Every structure is written in C-alpha cells, then in structure tokens.
Chain A
Amino acid sequence: MSPTLEKALTAPHKLEYTYKRSLGPVLSPFFTALRDRRILGVKRRDGRVMVPPKEYDPDTSESLDELVEVSDEGVVTSWSWVATPRRQQPLDRPFAYALVKLDGADTAFLHVVDAGDEGNMETGMRVKARWADETTGMITDFVFVPA
C-alpha cells in the first residue's frame, strides 16, 4: 500500500429491494385486522397477551394461535425523540418512537407517536391510534397520537 492515497472516485448508489413477505397463520390475521382498523394480539399459555403477535412463545417456543383483540389505546412505557426524520421514516416532521402497552396487552409495542413537540412526550402518557384514511394492512396504517 502506497503511503499516500490518491483521491478515489466516488458515486452515489441507491440500493433497493422489493421484498414481499409471506405472513403465515398468525401475522396474516394481524395484518388483515389492521386493514379493518383493529389490533390483534396473541395469548400465551399463561394468559398474557403479546402485541404484535408471534407464532411462537419467545420463552417456551410453544406454538401460539389464540388471537385476541386489544384496544388501539394504551400507555407509553418508553420513548425516544427523532428531531430530524430520515426520508425512510414514517413522518416528515419531528416525532417519537415509543414502546406502547395497549389496553388489554401485556407487552409493549414499538411504534410511532406523532406528538408534535418533544415537550408533549412523557412516559406513562396515554396515546391512541390515528388511522390512515385508507388502510391497506400494513404496520404504517396508523400512528399513535396523545389521547
């Protein structure tokens, strides 16, 4: 390697993949319900409800299939603030990512809170889903807003 480096040629490069994903027996009802503006969780054997639902219990690996509807309102259990959103992110203005424990659920759900200002965010605050005018069955069909 020569001690001095010549300036390398550079070029912008955009990497894009059009991934399609099969959903299976638990996530298919979950995303179908989102299209209907409803949120489903899955009940573990001990009765606790996980949202989003998983096909398998993360502790015991048991198959899970008992889907239950939970509220689209809940409580923020933690949050972080995005002052300058990137182009991929769901909102083009400052917002929070938050862990939200929905009423009827036992686990927190990682999602977005459109709170306007950082000062409006607080752990323990109540939030509710604001659904898109047209829902298509995607996790981006809603964002949370302060309730």
Chain B
Amino acid sequence: MRDVAVVGFTQSPSMRSEPDRNEVEILIPVIDALRKQTGLTSADMDFICSGSSDYLAGSSFAFVSGLDAVGAWPPVCESHVEMDGAWALYEAWVKIQMGYADTALVYGFGKPSMGDLPITMALQLDPYSVMPLWPDTLSIAGLQARHCLEKGILTFEQMAAAAARDRGHAKGNPNAQVKGDFTVEGILAEPFLANPLRKSDCAPISDGASAIVLAAGDRARELSKRPAWIRGIEHICEPMDLGVRDLGRSRSTEMAAAKAGVGKGKIDVAELSAPFTHQEILVERALGLGPDTKVNPSGGALAGNPLMAVGLSRIGECATRIWSGEADRAVAHATSGPCLQQNLVCVLEGE
C-alpha cells in the first residue's frame, strides 16, 4: 500500500440558503482558497474527482459546470460520483494506490436550498415499491428512531444529549450553521417536528462546498509539515429495503470500521456525518468509540449539513486536527442512503 495523506482542506460556511450564488459560485472560492493553502494549481493535480447530485441542482449533468471552478485546460484526468465527496475521495485514494496519480483534488458541493430536500431524497429509495409513496427524509429516519427508542436501544435523552454536545462544540466553528448552548431539557421540551423526531434531532439543510488535496509519500511530506496519513479507509453498503435491515445498529459501519482498523489504537477525535441524533449514536457505537475520544469537535453534520460535501468535510476536519497536533489519530465517517444504508470510515494518523 502507498502512503497517502490529506494535505489540504477548505470549506465554505454551511448556510441554510445561498440565494445569490449558484452551485459553482459557492464552489469557486473554496477551490481558490485551497490553491492558496497548498500552493498547487489544477495543473499540479494528477487526478480530480468530485461528488454532487443533479437532483439537488434540478438539472441533468449539473456537475459538469463544477469543472468551471477547477479549470479543465489543458485537459484534466477527472471523474465524478453522484454521492458525497467522501466517496470521491475514496476513488481518488484508489487511483493513487494504483499508481496512476501522486496528487488528487477532491471536492463536493451542493445547494439543496433550491428544492424541497426532504422529498427530493425520496428518489434514492426503491423506485418500484417505495419511491411512489414519497416518504420524506424525516419520516424515514423517524421509523428508525422509533424502532431504536421502543426496543430500548437508545433514549430521547441520549438523542438530545448528542444534539446539545455537537452544537456546543460548534460554537468554536465559524463554518457551522446551528450552534449554541442547547440543553437536554430544552430540546426535550421542543414539540415533535415529525413524531418521534424533534427539530434538534435533525441536521439542518445547508448549502455549501468543501475540497481536499491528497498526496502520496514524499510529495505529501513536501506539502505538509505533518501530513494526515490515511491509514485505513473502507465503505460498506446494506440493502436498500428497510424491512430486511437491522435498524437498531449500523452493521455496515461496524464492518467498515473493522476493515479500516479503527480499533487498532486510541482514537483522539471522531467526526461523524450522521444527519439525525439517533443515527449519530448508532454510528458512535458501531465505531466502538469510548470516553477518551472527542466526538464531533466541529459540531458534525448536526451543526452543518452541506449535502454532498458534509462527509468529505468530516475527513477534512479530522485532518486539520492532525496537522495542528491536536490529534494523533482520528476517524471520519460519511453516510449515504436511507437510515445509514451505506457508510464510509476513514482512519487518519499523524507521524
């Protein structure tokens, strides 16, 4: 295996709505800032890979215009995933492992404020027997939350505590969207938004973008004083049909964590992109995190949720803490699909 590290990371603020900029205009300053941070241009990138969703943009092949922010002349080696940028990073990591690239630019961007996100996401469900019923994201997540609550897998108090913790941490994150001093009592006093979920149980809807530079071996050491080495990365998918899955645990996260080697040492920092409080608890358990891990120091997805960038940003948030020496070993998580259907786990280490 080649040594591959995260050596650059920039992100936009998460905003409920960016009414005056289009997707590409949200992305451009993020890529510009990454060039300044790393001193690299697009011509220095052996591979470029992005994550976005045409259904968020409301037009087909919308991702192609994202290349405007990168520059595609002379022609670039490029790819795209219709998923969170964390999966684009996985593709780039594979490309580097194969020896086809030493450097890669990865970015994710999304502007869900243009549409009705909870209903748009019904299109990721089984198109024959589920999508025509148009279950929205809150309803789907609510089925899982109630299952967990009524089976004694977790409690409303634990869910509220996750939201309060994350949004407290987010006070130190200038890019976070929902932050402040929330209390468990205060959250439990909220009315149900979609029984059994309260507003604070749900990640916000956010417009935003983020970008990462990966580099291999000595190239990474040139670009960073303390590269954040990717020591393990894996993604695992479960069936789409909720009825055949165990909704009370995240088996795919458990498997990805085992393959990525999460348990091989102490984890200082974990950044999770679970978009609902009960899912965050399930992911935390699946990763086997203990009290010596600081979970979501940035606030995680519950504090800012720029779809298609939020998972990639978790990897970036871990990397910045490795660069600074705040953490020696960190784990980032990204998710895709209904009720934690598919999960990516990435272990990062400093030297």
**Is B292 an interface residue, CB under 8 A from the partner?**
no
Chain B min CB distance to A55 (Å): 11
**Assembled-state Cα–Cα distance A81/B196 (Å):** 8
| A80 and B242 within 8 A (CB) | no
**Is A54 an interface residue, CB under 8 A from the partner?**
yes
**Is B19 an interface residue, CB under 8 A from the partner?**
yes
| B58 and A13 within 8 A (CB) | yes
Q: A97-B143, A98-B143 are in contact. Are A107 and B133 (CB under 8 A)?
A: no
Would you list which residues of chain A between 4 and 31 have a CB under 8 Å from chain B? 5-8, 10, 13, 15, 19, 21, 23, 27, 30-31
| B20 and A5 within 8 A (CB) | yes
**Is A131 an interface residue, CB under 8 A from the partner?**
no
B130 neighbours in A (Cβ, 8 Å): 110, 139
A50 neighbours in B (Cβ, 8 Å): 241, 243-244
**Is A67 an interface residue, CB under 8 A from the partner?**
no
| B20 and A8 within 8 A (CB) | yes
| A79 and B241 within 8 A (CB) | no
Q: A83-B194, A99-B143 are in contact. Are A107 and B134 (CB under 8 A)?
A: no
**Assembled-state Cα–Cα distance A7/B19 (Å):** 8
**Is A90 an interface residue, CB under 8 A from the partner?**
yes
Chain B min CB distance to A98 (Å): 7
A1 neighbours in B (Cβ, 8 Å): 25, 28-29, 32
| B19 and A110 within 8 A (CB) | no
Chain B min CB distance to A135 (Å): 14
Would you list which residues of chain B between 97 and 146 have a CB under 8 Å from chain A? 116, 118-119, 122, 126-130, 132-136, 138-146
| B129 and A139 within 8 A (CB) | yes
**Assembled-state Cα–Cα distance A112/B118 (Å):** 17
**Assembled-state Cα–Cα distance A1/B195 (Å):** 43
Q: A1-B29, A81-B195 are in contact. Are A52 and B138 (CB under 8 A)?
A: no
**Assembled-state Cα–Cα distance A43/B129 (Å):** 18
| Neighbour of A58 across the interface among B19, B132, B143, B244, CB < 8 A | B244
**Is B264 an interface residue, CB under 8 A from the partner?**
no
Q: A99-B243, A107-B244, A112-B133 are in contact. Are A78 and B150 (CB under 8 A)?
A: yes
Would you list which residues of chain B between 189 and 226 have a CB under 8 Å from chain A? 192, 194-197
Tell me whether chain A's interface is mostly helix, strand or loop, or mixed.
mixed
What 1/0 mask marks residues of chain A from 98 to 122 whose CB sits below 8 Å from any chain B CB?
1100000001111110000010000
A110 neighbours in B (Cβ, 8 Å): 130, 133, 135, 143, 241-243
| Neighbour of B241 across the interface among A54, A97, A140, CB < 8 A | A54
Q: A83-B194, A99-B242, A99-B243 are in contact. Are A78 and B147 (CB under 8 A)?
A: yes
Would you list which residues of chain B between 41 and 74 have a CB under 8 Å from chain A? 58-59
| A86 and B116 within 8 A (CB) | yes
Closest to A97 in B: B139
Chain A min CB distance to B247 (Å): 8
| A58 and B241 within 8 A (CB) | yes
**Is B39 an interface residue, CB under 8 A from the partner?**
no
Chain B min CB distance to A146 (Å): 17
Q: A81-B194, A107-B244 are in contact. Are A140 and B29 (CB under 8 A)?
A: no
| B21 and A5 within 8 A (CB) | yes
**Is A147 an interface residue, CB under 8 A from the partner?**
no
15 contacts between A and B (CB under 8 A): A6-B20, A10-B19, A15-B58, A23-B128, A78-B146, A80-B143, A80-B146, A81-B142, A86-B116, A86-B136, A107-B241, A107-B244, A123-B146, A139-B129, A140-B133
A-binding residues in B (CB < 8 A): 19-22, 25, 28-29, 32, 58-59, 116, 118-119, 122, 126-130, 132-136, 138-147, 150, 192, 194-197, 239, 241-244, 247
- Known: A7-B20, A140-B133; 16 extra A-B contacts, CB below 8 A, are A1-B29, A8-B21, A27-B129, A51-B243, A52-B241, A58-B239, A58-B244, A78-B143, A78-B147, A86-B118, A88-B119, A89-B136, A99-B242, A107-B244, A139-B128, A139-B129
